[in-house]
C-alpha cells in the first residue's frame, strides 16, 4: 500500500448495484447479507413473516434492502438504498440503485462515490439499453472496477453458451468505455450460485465469486494521493486564541510545517497543527476529516481551499463539463442556477450545449441530429433542440459568477465534480464532471506555444504586507461588512449614511458602498436583467471584501432581493463579520416615497423586472437585526444598530 494511502480507505469498499428493472439487484444484495451472516434477527423475522403472509415457502431476500413500502408492494427499487456489511477481510457500503429509466439520476447518485459497480444482466433478456446506459455512466463517473453479473443463470439451465454470448456482446461495448477492470460472473442471486460460494452447477466457469472479487479488488491506487486538496467547510473560533479550519481532505496528504496556499485569495502560510477529536496528528491523509490551524492570521471562509503552494488546482469561472441532467424540467440555457462544488456554492448559467450522447452507440450528436434520427425510427422527438431532458447526458459549457478551484474529473473525482441546483425549487437538477477550462483556439495556441515556465500565472501567491490583525490593533476596532437590504425607498441609504457619520466621528475607519456609486462607475455596464443584477451584487461583494481586508467597517446598501445573492457575499467574509441588516418597510410606503422615481418608471414599463413591482423580494430568514423604517425614527434605528455592533464586538462598549 502507498504510504500516503489511508488504511481505512483501502479496507472500505463502496460499491453500487445497477441494472434494468427486475434484474435481481436487491436479491443479490440480500443474498450477500444473508450468506455472510450480516442480517439482524429482527430483520430476518420480518421478511419471514412477509413470506408466511403471502404463502411462500422461501423468504424473499430482496426485502432486506427494499426499505420503502412502495418498493415492497411492487417488488422494485425506486430509491437509492444504502446498506453496510463486513467480512473478516473488508468492510462494505452498498448503494442499491433503481433500474427504471426515469430513475437513472439515482444511479448517478449511487455511483458517484463508488469504487466498484455491479451491473446485473438478466440471462433471459441479455444486454439491454439500461445495461449499456449504466456502464456508460459508471465510465463517466470514473468507477474503476466493474462486475458484470449475468443473473438468473438458473432460468436458462446454467447455459455456458448464453453466458458467453452476453459476455461477448457487453465486452465489445465496454471497449469503448474508460473502465480499467471488468469481471464477468454467472450468478443466481435467488439460489446463491457464485455469489458467496462457488457453484457446482457451473463447472465450465473457473473465475471468482462475487464476494471474492469484492474482498480482493485493489482500490488503494484509485485515490489521488499526490495533490493535497482541503476545501474549508467551517471556521472554528471558540475563543480569541484559536482559529481552525474544519473540513475533509479530499485528496493527498499534509503535515505540520508544510507551506500552503489559500485559494482563491492566493495568500500563503504554513500548517501549524492538524487536530482531530483524538488529538493532534503528525500527518493526515484523504479522506480524513480534520481541523487545520495556520501559523499566520489569514481570512479564510467556507468555500475556500487550502492546497500546497507548489501544487495548485485550476482556478476558473468558465468550465467545460459532462452534464447528467436529473431534473424533471428541461435544462434552460442562460438560466441562473447554483453550482455546488466541494464546499463552495456559486451562481452560474449553462451557456452552451455542445452535444448529447447516445448511450447505445456512444455517438455524439447535437439535438437537431437527434430529431432527424427520431423521425427515421418513428419515435417522438423534442421541440427544443438546445436542451437536455431528464436522464440525458451531454457536454456543455458553464459560466460561473465566481471562480472555483478545480481539477479534471479523471484526476480527482472530488474537485472535478459538482451538482446543479435550481434556485426556484432548491432541487438538485444536474450532476457534472469537469473536463477543464473553456479556452478559445487563440488561447490554446498561445498557451501551447510557450514553455511551461512562461505560462501566465492565474493566482498570485503573495502575502499581504500588512495583516488584518495589525490593522485592527492600530485602528482599535474590529472590521466588518454591514449589509443593509430592503426594498428601494425603505431608507437603507439614509440610515447607513447617518451610521457612517456617527462611526467616523468616533475614529472608526469606515467605507460606504451603495447602488449609485457602483452604477455610475464599476457597474455602469450592467442593466436590470436577472443576470446583471446578480453580477452587480457579486462586484459589490468583492469591493466590500477589499475594504474589509484593509480594516474598514464597510456599510453596503443594496436591495439585493434574493437570499442567494446575499449568501454569496456572506461567503466572501469570515464568519461573524458579515452582519445582515433588514430595513423593513411596506411596499405601499416605499411607492409613496419613491425618492428616485423608480417605482413610477417600473409601473410605466420603463424598468422591467423591478423589485416589488414585477420582480420578487425575498426577506432575510435570520438577519442580525431588523430595523423598522416605517414607524421608528432614524435615531431609534441608529441606537439599535450601535447596540448590535457593541454586542458583536465590532466596536467598544
Catalytic residues: 560
Q: Is 274 annotated as a binding residue?
A: no
Helix 492-505 vs helix 634-647: angle between axes, to the nearest 10 degrees?
60
* Cα three-residue angle 556-558-561, rounded to 5 degrees: 135
- Asked whether residue 97 is marked as a ligand-binding residue, the answer is yes
Q: Is 25 annotated as a binding residue?
A: yes
Helix (H) or strand (E) holding 291: strand 289-294
**30 annotated as belonging to a binding site for a ligand:** no
| Residue 115 marked in a binding site | no
Numbers of helices and strands, H then E, in the chain: 18, 27
**Residues 6 or more apart from 185 whose CB is under 8 A from it?**
147, 148, 149, 150, 194, 205, 207, 208, 209, 210, 213
Query: DSSP assignment, residue 419?
Result: E
For residues 212 and 196, is the Cβ–Cβ distance under 8 A? no
Is 154 annotated as belonging to a binding site? yes
Please indicate if the annotation marks 19 as binding a ligand. yes
- 218 is known to lie in a ligand binding site: no
112 is in an annotated binding site: no
Is 20 labeled as ligand-binding?
yes
Write out the E strands in 486-636. Answer: 510-514, 553-557, 578-584, 625-628
Q: Is 26 annotated as a binding residue?
A: yes
| Distance, CA of 278 to CA of 284 (rounded, Å) | 13
Q: Annotated binding residue at 24?
A: yes
Q: Is 567 annotated as a binding residue?
A: no
Distance CA 643, CA 354 (A): 55
Q: Is 486 part of any known ligand binding site?
A: yes
402, 538 in Cβ contact below 8 A?
Answer: yes
Asked if residue 327 belongs to a known ligand binding site, the reply is: no
359 annotated as belonging to a binding site for a ligand: no
21 assigned to a ligand binding site = yes
Alpha-carbon span 581 to 485, nearest angstrom: 6
- Confirm or deny that 488 is annotated as ligand binding: yes
Task: Please state the length of the chain.
Answer: 653
Distance CA 242, CA 317 (A): 33
Phi, psi of 335 (to 5 degrees): -75, 150
Per DSSP, the residues of 337-355 read EEEEETTEEEEEEEEEEEE
61 assigned ligand-binding residue: no
Cβ-proximal residues to 151 (8 Å cutoff; 6+ apart), any chain: 19, 23, 24, 28, 120, 121, 122, 123, 187, 188, 189
List binding-site positions: 19-26, 96-100, 151-154, 486-493
List binding-site positions for GTP: 19-26, 96-100, 151-154
List binding-site positions for ATP: 486-493
Amino acid at each position: 500500500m502507498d504510504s500516503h494511502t489511508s488504511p481505512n480507505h483501502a479496507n472500505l469498499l463502496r460499491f453500487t448495484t445497477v441494472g434494468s428493472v427486475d434484474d435481481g439487484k436487491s436479491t443479490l444484495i440480500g443474498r450477500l447479507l444473508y450468506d455472510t451472516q450480516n442480517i439482524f434477527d429482527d430483520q430476518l423475522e420480518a421478511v419471514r413473516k412477509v413470506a408466511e403472509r403471502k404463502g411462500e415457502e422461501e423468504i424473499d431476500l430482496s426485502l432486506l434492502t427494499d426499505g420503502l413500502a412502495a418498493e415492497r408492494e411492487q417488488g422494485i427499487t425506486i430509491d437509492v438504498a444504502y446498506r453496510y456489511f463486513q467480512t473478516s477481510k473488508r468492510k462494505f457500503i452498498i448503494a442499491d440503485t433503481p433500474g427504471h429509466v426515469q430513475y437513472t439520476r439515482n444511479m448517478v447518485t449511487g455511483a458517484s462515490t463508488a469504487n466498484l459497480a455491479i451491473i446485473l444482466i438478466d440471462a433471459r433478456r441479455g444486454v439491454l439499453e439500461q445495461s449499456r446506459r449504466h456502464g456508460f455512466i459508471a465510465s463517466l463517473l470514473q468507477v474503476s472496477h466493474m462486475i458484470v453479473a449475468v443473473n438468473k443463470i438458473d432460468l436458462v439451465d446454467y447455459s455456458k453458451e448464453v453466458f458467453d454470448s452476453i459476455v461477448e456482446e457487453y465486452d465489445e461495448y465496454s471497449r469503448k468505455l474508460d473502465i480499467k477492470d471488468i469481471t464477468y460472473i454467472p450468478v443466481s442471486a435467488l439460489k446463491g450460485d457464485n455469489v458467496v460460494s462457488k457453484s457446482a452447477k457451473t463447472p465450465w466457469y473457473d473465475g471468482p465469486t462475487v464476494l471474492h472479487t469484492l474482498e480482493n479488488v485493489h482500490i488503494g491506487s484509485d485515490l489521488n494521493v499526490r495533490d493535497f486538496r482541503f476545501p474549508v467547510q467551517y471556521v472554528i473560533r471558540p475563543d480569541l486564541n484559536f482559529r481552525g479550519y474544519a473540513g475533509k481532505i479530499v485528496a493527498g496528504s499534509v503535515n505540520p510545517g508544510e507551506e500552503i496556499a489559500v485559494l482563491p485569495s492566493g495568500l500563503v502560510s504554513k500548517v501549524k497543527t492538524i487536530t482531530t477529536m483524538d488529538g493532534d496528528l503528525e500527518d493526515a491523509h484523504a479522506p480524513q476529516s480534520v481541523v487545520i490551524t495556520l501559523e499566520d492570521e489569514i481570512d479564510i471562509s467556507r468555500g475556500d481551499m487550502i492546497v500546497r503552494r507548489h501544487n495548485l488546482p485550476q482556478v476558473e469561472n468558465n468550465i467545460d463539463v459532462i452534464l447528467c441532467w436529473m431534473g424533471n424540467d428541461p435544462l434552460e440555457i442562460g438560466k441562473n442556477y447554483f453550482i455546488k462544488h466541494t464546499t463552495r456554492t456559486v451562481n452560474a448559467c449553462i451557456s452552451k450545449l455542445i452535444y448529447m450522447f447516445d448511450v447505445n452507440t456512444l455517438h455524439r450528436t447535437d439535438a437537431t441530429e437527434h430529431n432527424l434520427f427520431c423521425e427515421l425510427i418513428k419515435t417522438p422527438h423534442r421541440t427544443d433542440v438546445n436542451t437536455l431532458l431528464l436522464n440525458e447526458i451531454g457536454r456543455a459549457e458553464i459560466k460561473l459568477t465566481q471562480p472555483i478551484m478545480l481539477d479534471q474529473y479523471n484526476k480527482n473525482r472530488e474537485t472535478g465534480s459538482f451538482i446543479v441546483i435550481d434556485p426556484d425549487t432548491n432541487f438538485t437538477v444536474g450532476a457534472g464532471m469537469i473536463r477543464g477550462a473553456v479556452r478559445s483556439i487563440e488561447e490554446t495556441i498561445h498557451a501551447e506555444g510557450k514553455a511551461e515556465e512562461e505560462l501566465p500565472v492565474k493566482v498570485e501567491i503573495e502575502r499581504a504586507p500588512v495583516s488584518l490583525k495589525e490593522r485592527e490593533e492600530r485602528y482599535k476596532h474590529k472590521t466588518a461588512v454591514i449589509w443593509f437590504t430592503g426594498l428601494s425607498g425603505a431608507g437603507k441609504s439614509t440610515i447607513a449614511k447617518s451610521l457612517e457619520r456617527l462611526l467616523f466621528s468616533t475614529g472608526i475607519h469606515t467605507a460606504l458602498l451603495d447602488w449609485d456609486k457602483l452604477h455610475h462607475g464599476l457597474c455602469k455596464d450592467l442593466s436590470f436583467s436577472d443576470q446583471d443584477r446578480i453580477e452587480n451584487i457579486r462586484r459589490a461583494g468583492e469591493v466590500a471584501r477589499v475594504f474589509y481586508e484593509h480594516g474598514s467597517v464597510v456599510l453596503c446598501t443594496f436591495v439585493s432581493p434574493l437570499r442567494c445573492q446575499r449568501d454569496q457575499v456572506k461567503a466572501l467574509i469570515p464568519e461573524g463579520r458579515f452582519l445582515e441588516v433588514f430595513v423593513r418597510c411596506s411596499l405601499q410606503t416605499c411607492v409613496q416615497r419613491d425618492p428616485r422615481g423608480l417605482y413610477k418608471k417600473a409601473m410605466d414599463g420603463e424598468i422591467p423586472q423591478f423589485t416589488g413591482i414585477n420582480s420578487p423580494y425575498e426577506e432575510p430568514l435570520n438577519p442580525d437585526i431588523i430595523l423598522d423604517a416605517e414607524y421608528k425614527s432614524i435615531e431609534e434605528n441608529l441606537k439599535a444598530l450601535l447596540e448590535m455592533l457593541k454586542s458583536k464586538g465590532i466596536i467598544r462598549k
